[in-house]
Amino acid sequence: MSHFTKCRTKISDQSALVKALSDLGYKTVEVNETATNLYGYQGDKRDQVAEVIIRRKHVGGSSNDIGFKRQEDGTFEAIISEYDQGRHNAKWLKSLNQRYAYQKVTKELEEMGYEVGQVTTENGKLKFDAVSVYG
């Protein structure tokens, strides 16, 4: 049975988190109003619970669920098994945080009335191309 590790994040916007996970290839993400149990690679119910869950069948062969549990301060804590940390490690969390930041900024700009486009520079960095829809 794999041990689950908890990783603090600064992610607080649930919809931007789900979009960021989709950007990383996880098209099926479960969102629950109340925290729900995670499952291990053998289908065994675990004590760990989360509101945002990538179920093991969408993570990969012999994987455990990956969860994101809302904390008292409003941020999400990532819950990842030792087994799955080979692929879902600090580098993966960095990519998730980058996609989250993109989704969060895009959402906020759109709420302020901007049409947002994404521009990638020569060095691979993202720039936003935002145009006000109000002229």
Domain span holding position 18? 4-100
Residue 131 in domain: no
Helix (H) or strand (E) holding 52: strand 45-54
Q: What is the pLDDT of residue 114?
A: 85
Residue 87 in domain: yes
Q: What is the pTM of this model?
A: 0.87
**% residues pLDDT > 70 (the chain):** 87
Q: Which of 3, 1, 10, 30 is nearest to 93 (CA)?
A: 10
Residue 62 in domain: yes
Residue 36 in domain: yes
DSSP letter assigned to residue 43: S
Residue 45 in domain: yes
pLDDT digit string (tens) for 5-49?
888 889 999 999 999 999 999 999 999 999 999 999 999 999 999
Residue 117 in domain: no
Residue 128 in domain: no
Angle formed at CA 77 by CA 76 and CA 78, multiple of 5 degrees? 115
Q: Which residue has the higher pLDDT, 101 or 4?
A: 101
Question: Number of folded domains in the chain?
Answer: 1
Is residue 1 pLDDT above 60, yes or no?
Answer: no
Work out the average pLDDT over 77-87: 92
Residue 37 in domain: yes
